[in-house]
Amino acid sequence: MTNTETPTELTTTIDAYLASLDEADDAKRAELVARSWAEDGRYTDPLQELNGHAELASIHGAVQHTYPGASFRRTSGIDVHHESVRFAWDLTNPDGSLVVAGIDVGTVGDDGRLTSITGFFGDLPEA
C-alpha cells in the first residue's frame, strides 16, 4: 500500500539530490551528494551507471557539457512505500524549453539517504 504522506525528511533528501545535479560549485555539490546519498549509492539510467559519492557528483559535468545551463526540477509529489520511492522530474533549458522529462525510482536506506536510483527518460512505451 502506498503511503499518502511523504515525510519532510525524504522530500528534503530528494530535493537535495536534484539540487546536486544543478550545483556548479564542487564543494557545495559534494555536500549535497553526501546529504542525499549513502556512501555506496548507485545511480543508473539508459546512458550511465554511477557508484559512490565521487561518481554521483560527476553527473553535473556530463549534463552541463551536453546541455549548458539546463536545470532539473521535481514535477510530481514523491510516492513512497516501505523503502521505495518514485517521482517525476524534468530537465529544462535556460529559456524554459524542455530537454527531457522522466521518472526516478529508487530505494532509501535506514538513515534516510538514497541507496539507489534508476532513472527513466521520456514517456512509457505504447502497449
Helices vs. strands in the chain: H and E counts, helices first:
4, 7
Q: Per DSSP, what are the bridge partners of residue 37?
A: 114
Burial class (CB in 10 A: 0-12, 13-18, 19+), 124: exposed
What is the pLDDT averaged over residues 25-40? 96
Q: Which pTM does this prediction carry?
A: 0.91
- Judged by phi (left if over 0) then psi (alpha if -120 to 50, else beta), residue 33 lies in alpha
What is the pLDDT averaged over residues 26-49? 96
Instruction: Give the model's confidence band at 62: pLDDT under 50 very low, under 70 low, under 90 confident, else very high.
Output: confident
Is the pLDDT score of 76 beyond 60?
A: yes
Q: What is the bridge-based pairing of β-strands 114-121 and 98-108? A: antiparallel
The structural domains of the chain, ordered by start, are: 8-121 (3.10.450.50)
- Provide the pLDDT for residue 2: 42
Whether 105 and 83 have beta carbons less than 8 Å apart is answered as: no
Instruction: Give the model's confidence band at 4: pLDDT under 50 very low, under 70 low, under 90 confident, else very high.
Output: very low
d(CA 20, CA 36): 9
User: What type of residue sits at position 38?
Assistant: A
Report DSSP state, residue 95: T
- The overall average pLDDT reported for the chain is 93
- Under DSSP, is residue 92 helix (H, G, I), strand (E, B) or coil? strand
